[in-house]
Amino acid sequence: MNLRNYTLTLLLVAAGIVSGCATVSLNQPKSHTTTLTDVDDTRLGENASNWTQENQGLSGFYPLSRGMDALGVRLKLAERAEKSIDLQYFLMKDDTAGFVMTSALLRAADRGVRIRFLIDDIFTSVPDRVFLLLDQHPNIKIRIFNPVSRRGIAKLNLVWNFRQANRRMHNKSFTVDNSFSVVGGRNIADEYFELNTASLYADLDVMVLGPVVKEISKSFDEYWNHKLAVPVKQFTSIKKKYRLEKVREEFGDERKAHYETIYKEALDSRLLQDLITKRLPLYAAPARVIADSPAKLTNTIDEGDILLAKKLLGIFRNAEKEVIFITPYYVPGTSGVQLVQDLTDRGIRVVIITNSLASTNHIPVHSAYARHRRAVLETGATLYETRANAVTNLTGDEDGPDILTLHTKAFFIDGEQLFIGSMNLDPRSIEINAEMGLLINSEPMIKRVVKNMKELLPDTAYEVRQNDKGELEWHGLIDGQNVVETKEPLTSRWRRFKAWLMKIVPESQL
């Protein structure tokens, strides 16, 4: 080894050592704030209060299955906010959706609205400097959940502190004036709101108003004030001093025009207009928040901290007729297969809808799921996998994205209860990450959602079966013709090879 290479090696090793010591301090002082409760004098607060009184104290819900509708509801709520917006997400991307959301929050803050934005760190691609600029606004506070140190080399910090960095906040909620909220599976990125030209994520949120919003806010406060929620200005390493006006300049005329186009399109969504004019009624129902505690992410993994999964397990076991699992990432493991077997043994119909190898955005997860696929079928459950080329069948838009990916996380029990939120049926959601969602008791809403789903299934998914020889078959309806595939549909040899290779990834991390 020559001197130059030797020196370079020493520098890299030194960087690794320094990086390995770089952690974010969780002991710095920060303000303790809670949800604003004096909201009855706001328009949204008054609307929610009046609606609740007219509906015997129940909460109101409406499902948001189309991405543009889901974006439009969030933007309209932000536009009508008078006192507060609290939002909590797993990721936000530096793309059109991220820009539009940032612009909406900034406009609200300029009107005097208090913004509290809690975002998980690992997969968020918005630059720190943008968050720092926004945080300079007197009405905006941004905290990064469980951040990885920016000192040294970030990727090495992630590796050296993997045990803690591996534990993520996956929660998703958007709450305005402690009166209206949106909860579901969507993050803030183009693919979730039909703004991505390459792929469409089939997802589901619910807009909610009424008493259960107070529970959502309580859960938010618990995470916002937790030691892992670090104010962005306390750990970033940006030396240059930026001004808030800089972010306004970066919007520029071109980006502003793009923002106005997307903003107008979202607010013009037919569903949103129907809700505003009350042509579409909300579903009145009792509901409750079921959520993990943020302490789950600081403790050694054990059953005592797996609150959400344990409560859902009890609900599933109490089913009497039918359980429908919709989850993009399905890694049941031995215990999950046994749950399905226990249900079918009692005569309960079990339907599982998840991604195919062609539609998934996480091949290692599919590899782990595929290990259990035959065992799941042998329980007597009905299994569907999303058809990657069925975007047009879902949206009716022939010029839409090429790939359909399932991202909905929803579980239906006996046609009477719906759990919707951030949780997948995999070890990561159950044991490693923190999750939250709503358990809603609304037979009319569930009947409508399940009816629409069952009508779409033949044209958007394959039913996976075993033939008499024990071989897997994928049965689909394409252009009105019944089709049977005998290998992973719509996949190349290379993708199937990667799925085979990814079997080396530990199932416990998926």
Q: Which of 76, 93, 141, 170 is catalytic?
A: 170
Q: Which of 86, 226, 409, 426 is catalytic?
A: 409
Q: Which of 94, 95, 221, 414 is catalytic?
A: 414
Q: Which of 83, 120, 407, 426 is catalytic?
A: 407
- Residue 377's Cβ-side half-sphere holds a number of Cα atoms within 13 Å equal to 20
**278: annotated active-site residue:** no
Strand partners, 325: 352, 411
**447: annotated active-site residue:** no
Q: Is the Cβ–Cβ distance between 362 and 123 less than 8 Å? A: no
Q: Is the Cβ–Cβ distance between 387 and 410 less than 8 Å? A: no
**137: annotated active-site residue:** no
Q: Which of 135, 177, 292, 426 is catalytic?
A: 177
**305: annotated active-site residue:** no
- 381-420: burial string, b at 16+ Cβ within 10 Å, e else: bbbbbbbbebbebbbeeeebbebbbbbbbbbbbbebbbbb
Phi, psi of 82 (to 5 degrees): -120, -30
**Beta pairing class for 349-354 and 417-421:** unpaired
CB neighbour list of residue 100: distance below 8 Å, 6 or more residues apart: 71, 75, 259, 262, 263, 266
Strand partners, 474: 464, 485
Q: Is the Cβ–Cβ distance between 154 and 418 less than 8 Å? A: no
Strand blocks (E) in 279-362:
283-285, 287-291, 322-326, 349-354
Strand partners, 201: 405
Q: Which of 141, 172, 226, 296 is catalytic?
A: 172
CB neighbour list of residue 264: distance below 8 Å, 6 or more residues apart: none
User: 3-class DSSP state for residue 445?
Assistant: helix
**414: annotated active-site residue:** yes
**172: annotated active-site residue:** yes
Q: How far is CA 273 from the centre of its chain?
A: 25
Start-to-end Cα distance in the chain: 40
Q: Which residues are catalytic?
A: 170, 172, 177, 407, 409, 414
